[in-house]
A and B are shown apart, each in its own frame.
Chain A
C-alpha cells in the first residue's frame, strides 16, 4: 500500500468527518485514532524511504527524501501526542463552559485539516504548492486561535491573520521571482517550480534575481517562523488560543516554515556562492535571539513567556543554519527535533496547570508539585530541558552550535551567550515559584493526560544521551544536502 497517499488521505477524511461529529463524546477518540493512523502511515513511509531511498508521488509534484521524511514522522508523532493530550483537555474546557458544541466540531476538524496541510507542505516538490499549503495551514488555524471568542483571542487571531497574510504575500512574490529565474534556465514547462529540477541547475540561476527572491522568501516565510521583527503575532496567538493549538503551532508550524526557508536556501546558495543567504539568516537569527531573550524577562503570562522562548529557539536554529556546514546543519536539525518535542511537552504541562489553577498569570500559579506531582515535575523537567541543561538533548545541540560559532564566528558568541543566559535566568526564575510553593487549586472533572509530557521528555532525554545510528545517519545526510 502506498503509505504516502494513506498518510495524506487519513487527516483529510477525518477532518471532513469530524466537521459533522466533532462534539460527540467519542469524537476525541476518533481524533486520536486518526492521528494514530497518520503516524503509522508516516512511520511506514519513513521505513520505506530509509530502505529504498527518495521517491516521488503524483507525477513529480511530491518528493520525499532524507530531509523531509523525518520531519514528516516528527510532525505525525507530535500530532498524535497532542491529540491524546487534547482529548481530556478539551473535555475539561467544555465542562468549564468555555466551549460549545459547534466550536468543538470546528476545533477537531480544523486540527486534522491542519495536519494535512503541514504534511502536504513538507512533502511537496513544487515550490508553488508549498506556498499554497503554508497559506492553507495559516487559514486552518486562524479560527482556532479565536476559538474562545474573548476580545483578546479575537485580537490575537486578527493579528495572526493579517501579519501572516502580509508575510505570505511577500513569500509569494519571492516564489514568483524564483519561478522567473528558473524559467530562464529550465524553460516554460511546468517543471520550473520543481525543487528536484531546480537543484540540478541552481548554479545557473541569475544571481540578482535569486538574491531578491531569497530576501522576500526569508522575510515572508520568516514571518511564520517568528523571526523578529515580524514575530508580533506569535506571543498573542500562543497565549490566547487553546493549549493544543499552542503546542502544534510551536512544535510543528514553526518547523515547517523553517523547512520551507531551508529548501529555498539550498537554491540560493547555489546561485550566490558568496554566502549571502547564510549571512542574512545569521543576521535575522541573532536579532531574533536578542529580541526574544529580552522580551522574555518582561512576561507575566506563562504561555506568552514560552511563546517568546519558541521565538528565541527559532532564532538560534536560524543562526545555526545560517552558519552552514555539516556540523552546524546537524546541530540545527537536531535542535529542531528537540525543540519540537520539548516545547510541546511544556505546553502540555502548562495547559494542565492553567486549567487546574484557572489562570495564565504566573504570579497566580504556585505549588504545582503539591496539586499534581506529575504536572509539577513535568513542567520542571521540561523547563530544564528547554533551557539546555544536560543530559537533555537540547544541551547537545546548543553546545554544538556554540562551539561551532566560537570557531568560525567568534564575534557572535557573546551575543549568543548573553541571550541564552538572560533567557535562562528569566524562565527559571519564573517557573521555580510556579512549581514549588503553596497552593489552593481545584480538582479537574477529567483526569489530565500526562503521558504525552513524559513521553516527549523521555525521548529528549534519551536522544541527549544516545542517538541511534540510523538517526545520526539521517541527520548527517540531511545536513550534507543543506550544504
Chain B
C-alpha cells in the first residue's frame, strides 16, 4: 500500500529534481568556463533566465496550432515523470512498479515526438531542419539505449529500474567488462540525447549547425521557460540514470525518509563530479559534422551490443 511517507518521499524527489536541474545546467556551464579559462557566469543564472521568461509574454506565430501550444507542457510533463521514476534517491518509491526501463525510453520518445512535431508545426525551414536532425539522432540513440538496458536487465534478470539498481548496488565487487562497455555506450547516447558537444553545441548561435536549439526557435515566454526547464530536467534525468545504473552506491533501499535525506549529499557529490566530467569532455572535443553523428551513435550501438554479447559469453556461463 502507498504510505504517507512514501508519497512524501516521492513528492520530495520530484521537487528536488525540479530545483536541482537548472542548478546542474549552471554547474556544467561554470565548469566549461573554468576549463576554457573564461570568467564563469553566475551559478544561478539558469534560475534567473527561467524567472525572466515566465514573466514575459508569449508571442505566437499565425499558423501555430494547439499542438504548438501544448507541446511544452507535454514535454515538461514527460521529463518530470522521467525524473520521478528514476531511482535517484531511493529504490522504493510509490511509482516504482511503473518504473520499467522500457517505459522510461518510451517516455523520452514521447517527448521527442512532440517537440519535433511542434518544431515543424509553424512551417519555418529551421524548424523542420531541427526536427529532422532530432529524429536522425533519436532513431539511432534509442536502440543503443535499449541495448544498454538489455545488458543490465540480463545481469539483474528484470527490466524494472529499482530492481536493476538494487541488484547492481548489492553484488560483490566483480569486474564486469560488459558493464564497462554498457557504460561507455550509455555515455555516448546521453551526449547525443542531451544535445551536447560532440553531437550538438548547446551554446551555438549558428542556426545551420543546430539540432536542439533549432527546434525551439519559435518559442517565447512561458513556453520557452518550460522547454528550457525540460531540457535541464532531461540532463538531470540522464545523469541520475547513469549514476543509478553504474554507480549505485548510496541510494537508499527502503522507504525510510531519513535514509532518503541521507542520500542527498552523496547524490549532490556524484552530480557535481558528473557535471565536471561532462564539461571536460565538451571542452576537449569539437562538434562533429552532422553526417558523422550516425557513425558516433553506430559506435554506441555496437558497444552496447558488444557488452550484451560479452555478458552472454564470458559471464553468464562460468
User: Does chain A touch chain B in the assembled complex, meaning CB atoms less than 8 Å apart?
Assistant: no
